[in-house]
Amino acid sequence: TAGKPIDCKAAVAWGPKQPLEVRTVTVAPPGPGEVRVKIAATALCHTDAYTLDGLDPEGLFPCILGHEAAGIVESVGEGVTSVKAGDHVIPCYQAYCGECKFCKHPDSNLCVSVRAFTGKGVMKSDGKSRFTVDGKPVFHFMGTSTFSEYTVVHEQSVAKVDVNAPLDKVCLLGCGVSTGWGAVYNTAKVKPGSSVAVFGLGAVGLAVIEAAARAGASRIIAIDLNPSKFAAAKEFGATACVNPKDHDKPIQQVIVEMTEWGCDYTFECIGNTSVMRAALECAHRGWGTSVVIGVAAAGQEISTRPFQLVTGRKWTGTAFGGYKSRVQVPDLVNDYMAGKTMLDKYITHNMKFDQINEAFDLLHKGECLRCVLTF
């Protein structure tokens, strides 16, 4: 197949809020510096739903969504040296080139080597898409487009992982779970004995809880409007669960009263700007850090009284948990293989790729953490 276009199954997003169409697309061979990957398993992240709903300012249509996956390299383009056909890989929407200002900085993973192109849904070498339907181009998404049996990614966007790792499990390390863990370890740097509040108990929020518990946090307060999320939160390490609907007061006030001055660390894992404010305002007076993980809809802005910052709270955020993808994703896979994580517990559903629209319905209904689709 190397060097030739491949016709395969993919889910095409034709426009905002339209169901995906599972159909045959043509995937061109990888250009210079590119890698064609046969996707073995792909999960759905809330960000795919957000983009499909037309809420992402970078969302382009028609496109092929998907960014949480694992697969096997089918072929590589000219000049590619870090992977070869047959390697097992995880596509990474946060690229890593190792050479740009961001890769060289110890505190950032926001590689800029290909970001301008992945944001426009095209490849860097020629500014074009590798996907066509009936001869017409279909945009890439986040430099990954994993809702396709075959996809083409930049070499900077593909992490080589242990060939023995189960692809239908470690696909989750391509986004949500890694993001939650990294937000705790890399962004907030949660210390033993500290107090933590987590807003939103999807896969991202639960991964924050798992990591906070492992980091030795002594108090982990889990917050969600959907009480069916609380059992899992406790299993992952929450010490208390709070439903804002059970209280008349604003949720930040509830948390401040529970903890006297607020929590050392708070995490917003929803994408709701009011909750981002609440999370900041229940961070501890004097030193509390609040981490924004959730992705808010186009046009949304955050606000608070500046006094909240004057009195020592810090407001920050994270993309992919701060992990330098190609360097650190292989280590996350190794940790999984060594039994050090609860990764399997985030997978609540398994389906065939053709059922992708049903999987989106489950995500919207709040009935699933992660649904893994296989071809």
Residues marked active site are found at: 45-47, 67-68, 97, 100, 103, 111, 115, 175, 370
Which stretch in 56-64, 191-199, 266-274, 323-331 sits in contact with ligand AHE by CB under 6 A?
Answer: 56-64
How far is residue 78's CA from residue 90's CA, in Å, rounded to a whole number? 20
Q: Is 371 in the site for Zn ion (CB under 5 A)?
A: no
In this chain, which of 12, 45, 161, 372 binds Zn ion, going by CB under 5 A? 45
- Interface with ligand AHE by CB under 6 A: which range of 54-62, 165-173, 191-199, 337-345? 54-62
Q: Which residue's CB comes closest to ligand NAD?
A: 202
- Angle (CA) 102 105 106, round 5°: 130
CB of 84 to ligand NAD, least distance (A): 29
Nearest approach, Cβ of residue 182 and Zn ion (Å): 13
Closer to ligand AHE by CB, 57 or 339: give it: 57
Q: CB neighbours (10 Å) of residue 135? A: 6
Closest distance of CB 164 from ligand AHE, Å: 27
**325 touching Zn ion, by CB under 5 A:** no
Pairwise CA distance, residues 25 & 197, whole Å = 44
Binding to Zn ion by residue 47, rule CB under 5 A? yes
Binding residues for ligand NAD (CB under 6 A)? 45-47, 50, 175-176, 179, 199-205, 223-226, 229, 244, 269-272, 275, 293-295, 318-320, 366
Q: Name which of residues 288 to 347 contact ligand AHE (CB under 6 A).
A: 295, 319-320
Q: Is 270 in the site for ligand AHE (CB under 6 A)?
A: no
Question: Amino acid identity, residue 194?
Answer: S
Residues that bind ligand AHE (CB under 6 A): 45, 47, 56-58, 110, 115, 175, 295, 319-320
